[in-house]
Amino acid sequence: MSRKTLLTSKEIEIILHRLACQLIENHNDFSNTVLIGLQPRGTFLAERLKKILVEDYNIQNLKLGLLDITFYRDDFRRNDEPLEATPTKIDFLIENKKVVIIDDVLYSGRSVRSALTALQAFGRPISIELLVLIDRRFSRHLPIQPNYRGRQVDAINEEKVLVNWKGTHSKDEIYLVSKNSKKE
């Protein structure tokens, strides 16, 4: 396995602040906007963005929900092991709100499609946008594109984007991991 660093901790911090500023430009005071982090990996990004928006940019009453899409995925029955869902934590309606779905990596688009279906249980929003930290181009199975992206990466299917967050790992860092093609 070979591993290439895509983003360092400092680069991630800069990107998070840029994404926060882009959100502020488009949503102003967030009085009619909610953030929805996709469980499990999008929650780290969503929580970090909320912290930056509240602490650094003084956004008040920002609503953040965490959405589990496990049983809305089109491939959940293909696993041999029983799946364990993470609790959805959305204590507000999204009816007539602007929703920003947040996930760490956009790959095939299937997670986002699942999130769109799952969100229907919480109301009908005015609009839905997508924010991702890493946009893997050339990997889509569905016509889904982000409104906000941290970094765009061209990766082949055998390569995987690995996102490490401070708190679960020693530091924030994003890698491109690939299997060595040489046989040893």
User: pLDDT tens digits, residue range 143-180?
Assistant: 999 999 999 998 877 889 999 999 889 999 999 998 76
pLDDT (0 to 100) of residue 1: 76
Question: Nearest-CA neighbor of 134 among 90, 88, 103?
Answer: 103
d(CA 101, CA 67): 9
Give the DSSP H or E segment for 176: strand 173-178
Q: What residue type is assigned to position 161 of the chain?
A: V
d(CA 109, CA 128): 15
The pTM assigned to this predicted structure is 0.90
Buried b / exposed e across 60-92, counting CB within 10 Å, b at 16+?
Answer: eebbbbbbbbeebbeeeeeeeeeeeeeebebee
Cβ(176)–Cβ(160) below 8 Å = yes
Q: Token pair for residue 83?
A: 């799946």
Check whether 183 has a pLDDT greater than 60: no
To the nearest 10 degrees (0 to 180), the angle between helices 42-55 and 9-27 is: 70
CA distances, 157 to each of 70, 93, 180 (Å): 22, 37, 13
Average pLDDT over residues 108-117: 93
Check whether 103 has a pLDDT greater than 90: yes
Instruction: Check the CA dihedral 104-154-15-13 and report its sign.
Output: positive
- pLDDT digit string (tens) for 7-41? 999 999 999 999 999 999 999 999 999 999 999 88
Strand partners, 137: 154
pLDDT (0 to 100) of residue 82: 64
- pLDDT digit string (tens) for 48-84? 999 999 999 999 999 999 999 987 766 555 566 666 7
Cβ(23)–Cβ(131) below 8 Å = yes
d(CA 26, CA 28): 6
pLDDT tier for residue 120 given thresholds of 50, 70 and 90: very high
Q: Token pair for residue 97?
A: 């709100």
pLDDT (0 to 100) of residue 75: 57
Give the DSSP H or E segment for 44: helix 42-55
